Chain A
Amino acid sequence: MEFVSPEGLRLDGRRPLEMRQLRAEIGAVSKADGSAVFEMGNTKVIAAVYGPREVENRAQQMNDQALVRCEYTMANFSTGDRVRKPKGDRRSTEISMVIRQTMEACIMTHLMPRSQIDIFVQVLQADGGTRSACINAATLALADAGIPMRDLVTSCSAGYLNTTPLLDLNYVEDSAGGPDVTVGYLPKLDKVTLLQMDSKLPLDTFESVMQLAIEGCKAVANYLREVLLENTKQLEYRRGS
């Protein structure tokens, strides 16, 4: 199948190195300590952060750092086919773990010993790149909750179809069976904290695809920073009035 036309346009009209439209909104869940909605094109996720707070299960309490927990769920209506999945299926468990590890790596957990931080991510619409969107939403929610972080961890995926590296695959491109490289990245520290790939790719191609995903992460980081800045301005304005 042709995923990039000879005119250099992808099926949805993007060029190979373009991301889908990003949209973010902070403070979607009033009861949560921090929350955010993050959209990458038609992929839409909502993240809520509760904490830092008392550890529910004392046995899990750690005296030198905070406990970070994460749960990822997909709404029944989030995919084209309506599928009823039991909570905690293998895929969700795996993604929950991936998000938890990625976020844990950037939260300064040592500042909040004997406490617990819960991150809940709910997928409202899935159109490819859900794990990236979840990480980006979680970052915003953590920032909204005022939890100290080393850096704004962001994530983006890139793939390789029709011998062209493509940034930010949507569902159609993702289901083409080609490689899909998901990167989690700390832009200020210039460190990769998450790297996943399915399917296979020659090493030198992989390098360029990964580099592309990192560029995507940087672009997401810029956008997140803008959103946070705007949000802070709003808060300041409201306080002033």
Chain B
Amino acid sequence: MLQSKSFVKKTKGGKVVKVVREHYLRDDIYCGASICKTCDSSVARLSSDASTIIIVDTNVVLNQIDLLENSAIDEVVVLSVVLEEVKNKNLSVYNRLRTLCSNSQRKFFVFSNEHHKETYVKAMVNESPNDRNDRAIRVATQWYQKHLGSAVRVLMITNDRENKRKANEEGISAETVESYVKSLGQPALLDLLARPASEDVVMDSVEDLRPSKRKVIYSEHKPMSEITTGLHRGIYHQGKLRVNRYNPFEAYVGSESIGDEIVIHGRTNMNRAFDGDVVAVELFPQDQWHAEKSRIADEEDEEDESVHLVQSSADDAPRSTNVQGSSADTTPSRPSGCVVGVIKRNWHSYCGSLEPMPMPAGAGGIAHALFVSKDRRIPKIRIQTRQLGNLLDKRIVVAVDSWDRLSRYPSGHYVQTIGEIGDRETETEVVLIENDINSRPFSSQVLACLPPLPWSVSAEHLSDPNREDLRHLQVFSVDPPGCRDIDDALHCTLLPNGNFAVGVHIADVTNFVHPGTPLDDEASQRGTSVYLVERRIDMLPKPLTEDICSLRSDVERLAFSVIWEITPQADIISSRFTKSVIKSCAAMSYVEAQARMDDSRLVDPLTTDLRNMNVLAKIMRQRRIDRGALTLASAEVKFQIDTETHDPLDIGMYQIREANQMVEEFMLAANVSVAEKVLKHFPFCSMLRRHPTPTREMLEPLLRTAAAVGLDLDVSSSKALADSLDRAVGNDPYFNKLIRILATRCMSQAVYFCSGDLSPPEYLHYGLAAPLYTHFTSPIRRYADVVIHRLLAASIGISKLPAIFQDRPQLTSIADNLNYRHRNAQMAGRASVELHTLIYFRKRPTDTEARIVKIRSNGFIVFVPKYGIEGPVYLTARGDNGSGEWLVDEQHQQVKKADSSICYNVLQMVRIHMEVVEPQPNRPKLELTLTE
């Protein structure tokens, strides 16, 4: 059974605990080459006609992962010693490498050299771990060459000079990355090479153009040991750096040690830290804490605030820079400081484009260019390219390699081209990449999990004792027009006792998506379908979403049903849950359903059912509002898209009808019923959705604005807030909605969580005023609902609970991923709307009404209700610091001219002109100007 030799590896962990672990060496680890005669070739990944097999060292993987991902590089052996080192140094690179190794299209083979009896090396006396690992790589390379014989050349790739020298001495062929890539004869590949920091000296050519030649721009980062000591003694503070999305020269570090956020002003103080880096910060003396400027743009001349969609929640709103209100001018109380060291980098690759520049004289040679990320929080990145002419008008992806003190900008390298700037498809692709959305077609393994088509309900389904036959019920669905993935349907019948039997039938997705299958894994990873303006990225393959699962009319479909008995007073007497077979009689749009209800001539059974339900829904809705549910408003817009060009034809606010609210009401009720049921059975492993109560600090901007217009809002509870929002009616009809929009954006987003991780009071859904809530009703497009379907099926005893629910950390990580995906999907949706707004206005300069929502020293931010967008209007010319011409009154939230001749108040209506301008070629943007 055991054919291995035992070894003992000693490591020192933590304090001085001596850790002893066994280390077994084996003789059944194969080389992975198909040509090999001695090894089991069933697991072979390297092709039989490979003339060269590459073995990479750790630093090559860490620095050149973009190159490795390029399909030009193949026949690679990844040693386990390399994997282990990469894992310890950079988890994201490790995951990328693992993906490469498991990709069946690529020829990457993992060789467990550390457990192979002929390639294991024991550390020698006084040999550092690094040297040992380098030696292990050389020994493995040598083993491969010996093992495979002369038919194949085994090449070690390393940029470590010492390692390469030793390899050559030992008769191993070794090359640097650069020379290997050059030997492939594809110059474009060279762009993918990450440039080592030392090469920065060559970069002088670009720096030379600047008047200040090679001077030290940033202060040195402190060595790690000093940082550790400093943190220990409380001189430095550790935290994650968050760059202000709306002002890239300002960042915040949330520090636990001082329990507050430290503000970092300017790039110099940020000292080369990127958004998301974990940094160590040193506080300035209190008298140097900056007074905060609430200006729209900031120092240097880079960018200014752009027009964007209004936020839907506090999570993606800019940090309110003027939190302490009027007191800000006199006693700045926010701690500020500077970054003294980066503890953990958050570098990844970024989407953007090159800064326009003239073509250098010797075209075709190496050019240096500056890359501007779409994400404004990221500084410009310096890259080298041999294809400048090609890239200038393209959207490209760039990765960061290094940032030394002498260079104003970090250095990076080109990764890939997405397409032409401004092209709708390219820009959509950028949106997807930036939000980490997987839009690749489903793999064949995933598609293999689908049932064969055409699919129909079989006798087997009907005879299943756990599945009720509800085909006799008059079930119908109401959805937005053109909806093809129908995941909910309803029915309502009058019972003999005068009560109603109301059913919510949800597509039975879990009947087709089984836990642990590639299909389930993929769906769990994607987390949600993503809705862009002109395109939808599905969570599940199309045959499922649009056909097999979709509850279309006049076909038999499997469903998971929630059936209540409801009194005419809309009290739920009983509820039950069952899998079922239904046959929808009508798939209506909201407009159709509304028209039926409104048309008093119609008295057919379907219309009667609709009306009954509507009556019930109205009572339920009123009851919910009485309980304190907030009716918040969002400024959702809708495009009319040209079917040919896919360009937007019209744009307008999304209209909400009674029919929408009716369907929504029953879906909410179903979700609540399911949440209660599931939690009762599985108190520790249910997946619920909660909406945290907003803190007073979060509501501060709302309160300040309200106070400025003389409105007193009570935010002590959701009920109080709902009531005071109801009372907030000005003389202007839009006023109430505007206040509601402002209130909505103060709230944080609702999140999924695992019930075992929190205590019941924290389960609260603030917005819905529901103590328990979950998502059950859209399993076709949300994975959370799939999870809940499985839980519900287990709680009514018709299926077993999948093993994953036994594992709380894993469940928590699923919830975290869903929140991440959900948020990204929303961001992508918004970005897509922004993109189409820009395309729309490109040909249509428009004058319209706007509302001032925020006051700044050189202008104000307006909200354009008609198009749901928000953007800055400048009162002073760019670069002009206001020079005292305009004065801001924080208390009354107004900005007025020094001579008091003109005054703008918050929430005031102004008329503006909207037009797309191109201050730089290929950089169109929407500009808002006052029309007086």
Q: Within the complex, are A and B direct neighbours (CB within 8 Å)?
A: yes
Interface of A toward B, CB cutoff 8 Å = 5-7, 9, 11-14, 18-22, 41-42, 80-81, 127, 163, 170, 172, 200-202, 205, 219
A selection of 14 A-B contacts at a CB cut-off of 8 Å is A5-B80, A5-B112, A7-B29, A7-B112, A9-B112, A12-B21, A12-B24, A13-B4, A13-B115, A20-B22, A172-B21, A202-B801, A202-B803, A202-B806
Which of A13, A200, A205 makes the CB contact (< 8 A) with B24? A13
A42 touches B803 (CB 8 A): no
A81 and B2 in contact, given A7-B110, A12-B24, A201-B806 (Cβ under 8 angstroms): no
A12 and B17 in contact, given A5-B80, A6-B102 (Cβ under 8 angstroms): no
Q: Chain A residues near B516: list those with CB within 8 A.
A: 163
Contacts A13-B25, A18-B2 known; 18 new A-B pairs at CB < 8 A: A5-B110, A6-B110, A7-B80, A7-B112, A9-B112, A12-B22, A14-B24, A18-B1, A21-B4, A42-B8, A80-B17, A80-B18, A80-B19, A163-B516, A172-B21, A200-B806, A202-B800, A202-B801
A11 touches B21 (CB 8 A): yes
A6 touches B4 (CB 8 A): no
Q: Chain A residues near B17: list those with CB within 8 A.
A: 80-81
Q: Chain A residues near B18: list those with CB within 8 A.
A: 80
Q: A200 CA to B803 CA in the complex, in Å?
A: 10
B806 touches A19 (CB 8 A): no
Q: Does B901 belong to the interface (CB within 8 Å)?
A: no
How distant is B923 from chain A, measured CB to nearest CB, in Å?
45
Chain B residue at smallest Cβ distance from A79: B17
Q: Chain B residues near A13: list those with CB within 8 A.
A: 4, 22-26, 112, 114-115
Which of B19, B23, B29, B110 makes the CB contact (< 8 A) with A12? B23
Q: Chain B residues near A19: list those with CB within 8 A.
A: 1-2
Q: Which residues of B in the span 1-42 have a Cβ within 8 Å of any Cβ on A?
A: 1-2, 4, 6, 8, 17-26, 29
Report the count of interface residues on B (CB-CB < 8 A). Answer: 29
Q: Does B98 belong to the interface (CB within 8 Å)?
A: yes
Chain B residue at smallest Cβ distance from A41: B22
B115 touches A20 (CB 8 A): no
B6 touches A41 (CB 8 A): yes
Chain B residue at smallest Cβ distance from A22: B2
Q: Chain B residues near A42: list those with CB within 8 A.
A: 8, 20-22
How distant is A48 from chain B, measured CB to nearest CB, in Å?
25
Chain A residue at smallest Cβ distance from B84: A5
How distant is A234 from chain B, measured CB to nearest CB, in Å?
24
A127 touches B101 (CB 8 A): no
Q: Chain B residues near A12: list those with CB within 8 A.
A: 21-24
Q: A219 CA to B80 CA in the complex, in Å?
A: 30
- Chain B at the A interface: mostly helix, strand, loop or mixed? mixed
Q: A19 CA to B4 CA in the complex, in Å?
A: 10
How distant is B807 from chain A, measured CB to nearest CB, in Å?
9
How distant is B719 from chain A, measured CB to nearest CB, in Å?
41
Q: A14 CA to B6 CA in the complex, in Å?
A: 10
Chain B residue at smallest Cβ distance from A201: B806
How distant is A34 from chain B, measured CB to nearest CB, in Å?
27
Chain B residue at smallest Cβ distance from A80: B17
Q: Chain A residues near B800: list those with CB within 8 A.
A: 202
B115 touches A9 (CB 8 A): yes
Q: Chain B residues near A41: list those with CB within 8 A.
A: 6, 22
How distant is B799 from chain A, measured CB to nearest CB, in Å?
12
Chain A residue at smallest Cβ distance from B806: A200
Q: A21 CA to B2 CA in the complex, in Å?
A: 7
How distant is A2 from chain B, measured CB to nearest CB, in Å?
9
B22 touches A170 (CB 8 A): yes
Chain B residue at smallest Cβ distance from A163: B803
How distant is A56 from chain B, measured CB to nearest CB, in Å?
39
Chain A residue at smallest Cβ distance from B6: A21
Q: Chain A residues near B803: list those with CB within 8 A.
A: 163, 202, 205
How distant is B685 from chain A, measured CB to nearest CB, in Å?
11
Q: Chain B residues near A80: list those with CB within 8 A.
A: 17-20
Q: Chain B residues near A18: list those with CB within 8 A.
A: 1-2
Please indicate which of the listed interface residues B21, B22, B516, B801 has the most CB atoms of chain A within 10 Å of its own CB. Answer: B22
Q: Which residues of B in the span 554-611 have a Cβ within 8 Å of any Cβ on A?
A: none
Q: A126 CA to B20 CA in the complex, in Å?
A: 11
Q: A222 CA to B806 CA in the complex, in Å?
A: 35
How distant is A82 from chain B, measured CB to nearest CB, in Å?
9
Q: A6 CA to B97 CA in the complex, in Å?
A: 12
Q: A61 CA to B129 CA in the complex, in Å?
A: 61
Q: A22 CA to B6 CA in the complex, in Å?
A: 10
Q: Chain A residues near B23: list those with CB within 8 A.
A: 12-13
B6 touches A6 (CB 8 A): no
Q: What 1/0 mask marks residues of chain B from 525 to 555 whose CB sits below 8 Å from any chain A CB?
A: 0000000000000000000000000000000
Q: Chain A residues near B20: list those with CB within 8 A.
A: 42, 80, 127
How distant is B740 from chain A, measured CB to nearest CB, in Å?
47
Q: Chain B residues near A127: list those with CB within 8 A.
A: 20, 22
Q: A159 CA to B112 CA in the complex, in Å?
A: 23
Q: A50 CA to B102 CA in the complex, in Å?
A: 57
A219 touches B1 (CB 8 A): yes
A20 touches B2 (CB 8 A): yes
Q: Chain B residues near A205: list those with CB within 8 A.
A: 803
Q: A205 CA to B800 CA in the complex, in Å?
A: 12
Q: Chain B residues near A200: list those with CB within 8 A.
A: 806
Q: Chain A residues near B80: list those with CB within 8 A.
A: 5, 7
Q: Chain A residues near B806: list those with CB within 8 A.
A: 200-202
Q: A16 CA to B803 CA in the complex, in Å?
A: 19
Chain A residue at smallest Cβ distance from B109: A7
Q: A80 CA to B22 CA in the complex, in Å?
A: 14
Q: What 1/0 mask marks residues of chain B from 798 to 825 whose CB sits below 8 Å from any chain A CB?
A: 0011010010000000000000000000
Q: Chain B residues near A170: list those with CB within 8 A.
A: 21-22
Q: A113 CA to B675 CA in the complex, in Å?
A: 63
Q: Which residues of B in the span 69-102 have a Cβ within 8 Å of any Cβ on A?
A: 80, 98, 101-102
How distant is B244 from chain A, measured CB to nearest CB, in Å?
36
Q: A172 CA to B18 CA in the complex, in Å?
A: 14
Q: What 1/0 mask marks residues of chain B from 480 to 491 whose CB sits below 8 Å from any chain A CB?
A: 000000000000
Please indicate which of the listed interface residues B19, B21, B102 has the most CB atoms of chain A within 10 Å of its own CB. Answer: B21
Q: A81 CA to B14 CA in the complex, in Å?
A: 12
Q: Chain B residues near A22: list those with CB within 8 A.
A: 2
Q: Chain B residues near A20: list those with CB within 8 A.
A: 2, 6, 22
Chain B residue at smallest Cβ distance from A223: B1
Chain A residue at smallest Cβ distance from B116: A13
CB-CB nearest 6 A-B residue pairs = A13-B24, A13-B115, A12-B22, A21-B6, A41-B22, A80-B17
Q: A22 CA to B21 CA in the complex, in Å?
A: 15
Chain B residue at smallest Cβ distance from A81: B17
Q: A81 CA to B20 CA in the complex, in Å?
A: 12
Q: A76 CA to B37 CA in the complex, in Å?
A: 52
Q: A202 CA to B803 CA in the complex, in Å?
A: 6
Which of A6, A21, A202 makes the CB contact (< 8 A) with B101? A6
Please indicate which of the listed interface residues A22, A41, A219 has the most CB atoms of chain B within 10 Å of its own CB. Answer: A41
Please indicate which of the listed interface residues A7, A14, A20 has the most CB atoms of chain B within 10 Å of its own CB. Answer: A7
Q: A200 CA to B801 CA in the complex, in Å?
A: 13
Q: A204 CA to B21 CA in the complex, in Å?
A: 32
Which of A6, A11, A14, A163 makes the CB contact (< 8 A) with B98? A6
Q: A12 CA to B78 CA in the complex, in Å?
A: 19
Q: Chain B residues near A163: list those with CB within 8 A.
A: 516, 803
How distant is B376 from chain A, measured CB to nearest CB, in Å?
37
Chain A residue at smallest Cβ distance from B111: A7
Q: A163 CA to B29 CA in the complex, in Å?
A: 22
Q: Chain B residues near A6: list those with CB within 8 A.
A: 98, 101-102, 110
Q: A182 CA to B727 CA in the complex, in Å?
A: 67
Q: Chain B residues near A11: list those with CB within 8 A.
A: 21
Q: A122 CA to B102 CA in the complex, in Å?
A: 46
Q: Which residues of B in the span 34-80 have a Cβ within 8 Å of any Cβ on A?
A: 80
Q: Chain A residues near B29: list those with CB within 8 A.
A: 7
Q: Which residues of B in the span 788-802 have a Cβ within 8 Å of any Cβ on A?
A: 800-801
Q: Chain A residues near B22: list those with CB within 8 A.
A: 12-13, 20-21, 41-42, 127, 170
Q: A80 CA to B1 CA in the complex, in Å?
A: 28
Q: Chain A residues near B114: list those with CB within 8 A.
A: 13
